[in-house]
Amino acid sequence: MTSRQTGQTLYAIALVGLSVALVASAVRAQSANFKARRTEIQQRAAADRKQAQLEGEVKRTKLYGLYPTPEIPLAKPVVMSAGSTASLSIVGKFSDKTTFVSYNDGVELTNAVVATNSFKATVSAAAGLLPIWGRIYAFAPVSAASAWTPAVFVGSPVTFNLAAANGWIIKLAPQSPAFAITEPGTATITYKADFFKPGATAPFETTTGPLTIEAESSPGSYTFMMSAHNPGSAAAEIEDLTKQVMALANAGKVGSPEFATVQKKMEAAQARWMKEVEAQIKDPASAQKKQDDFGCGTINVSITRGQITGSANCGRNVGSSLTLTGK
C-alpha cells in the first residue's frame, strides 16, 4: 500500500480478500511506536528537503523523481507463531537509504540491513500476540514517500467457548491446525460452531463457515461467516465433494477415472439437494419455524484486554443480535 503528498501518482500494491481465530491474552496491535517513528521520519525528511532546496509545489516533480515511492511487489509472507523469531527478506525497487518500520506493536524488526532493492532483518512476534498480519512500511529518504507490504503473518487458530445471554454455550473450533494463506494479505480458516443448551453435552445445532484475516482488518475484531451445517444433508455432501473436485483439479487429475467418480457422486448429491429444496418449498411453514427458533449465522467477536464480547445473528425468536461473552 502506498502514501505520498496529495496530487502524486503512487506505486500501488493490490491486496485481495477478511477475521481470525481468537486468543484470550491480547497485545494491542495498532502501534503507537509506529506513529512516533513515522513522525520522526517525516520531520527528518522535511529538514532534508529544506537543505536540498526541494520544498514546495514547484519542486514536487523533481523531489519525487529523485526520491520516488518505494516499489514492493507482493510476495510469499513469513508465517510464524507468537513468541517466536524468523528471518525476513524484502526485495523491490528502493534505495539503500530507505527506512523500514513495523506497523504493529508486538511485531519488531532488529538486525536490519538495507541495500539497494534489498532489505533483511530479524522479525520477532511477542508472546500472546493475536493472530495478525504484520505490515512493514518502507519510507523513501527526503520525500518520505511510503509503501507497505503484508510481509508477516503471526498466529495459530484456537478453540473458543462463548456464553450467550439466553444460556446457550457456543463452541467455536477450527477445522484445521493452521490458517491458509490464500493471497498475500489474506489468511483464512474454516470454523465449526456447536450450540449447546444449558446442561447439555451434545449440540442441538451446528454451523460452519470461514474466518478470514486481511492485512487491513481491524485488530481484535473478528467475523465468523457461519451457515447451517447438517452432516447428513445433500448440501453438506456437495460441500465435501466440491473440496475433492478442487483438490483433484489442483493435482492435474481432471479427466481421470477418480475425477469422473467424484463427478458422478456430485450429480447424485445435486439431485438429492433439489429434492430437499422441493420439500422445503412444499412445507414453508416448517422451514420458517426452524429459522425463527434458531436461524443463527454470522458471529461477531471483539477482544479488549483479554475480555471477549460479541453477538450472533439469529432468528426472531432468539434475537437478531444474541449477546455473547467469554474470556
- The pLDDT tens digits for 94-149 are 999 999 999 999 999 999 999 999 999 999 999 988 899 999 999 999 999 999 99
State the pLDDT at residue 140. Answer: 98
> Which residue range is the domain that position 131 belongs to?
2-154
Considering the chain, what is the average pLDDT of its residues? Answer: 85
Q: Is residue 276 domain-shared with residue 262, that is, in the same domain?
A: yes
Please list the alpha-helical segments (H only) found in 30-169: 32-51, 60-66
Q: Is residue 125 domain-shared with residue 196, that is, in the same domain?
A: no
Q: Give the number of other CB atoms < 10 A from CB of residue 167.
A: 10
- CA-CA distance, 37 to 47, in Å (whole number)? 16
Q: Is residue 174 domain-shared with residue 243, that is, in the same domain?
A: yes
Residue 215 and residue 206 in contact, taking contact as beta carbons nearer than 8 Å: no
Of the candidates 222, 251, 227, the residue with the CA atom closest to the CA atom of residue 239? 227
- CA-CA distance, 297 to 284, in Å (whole number)? 20
pLDDT exceeds 90 at position 1: no
Residue 125: DSSP 8-state:
E
Q: How far is CA 214 from CA 19, 61, 135, 185, 302, in A?
A: 7, 34, 11, 5, 16
Q: Is residue 259 domain-shared with residue 222, that is, in the same domain?
A: yes
Q: Is 167 left (phi over 0), alpha (psi -120 to 50) or beta?
A: left
pLDDT greater at residue 8 or residue 216: 216
Residue 85 and residue 56 in contact, taking contact as beta carbons nearer than 8 Å: no
Please report, for the domain that includes residue 65, its CATH number: 2.60.40.10
Query: Cα dihedral sign for 46, 52, 58, 64?
Result: negative
From 105, 129, 154, give the residue that closes a domain.
Answer: 154
State the pLDDT at residue 95. Answer: 97
Q: Identify the residue whose cell numbers are 446457550.
A: 168
Average pLDDT over residues 250-255: 84
pLDDT classification of 293: cutoffs 50, 70, 90: confident
pLDDT classification of 266: cutoffs 50, 70, 90: confident
Number of structural domains found in the chain: 2
pLDDT exceeds 50 at position 52: yes
State the pLDDT at residue 229. Answer: 62
Residue 2 and residue 12 in contact, taking contact as beta carbons nearer than 8 Å: yes
From 95, 128, 154, give the residue that closes a domain.
Answer: 154
Q: Is residue 166 domain-shared with residue 51, that is, in the same domain?
A: no
pLDDT classification of 78: cutoffs 50, 70, 90: very high
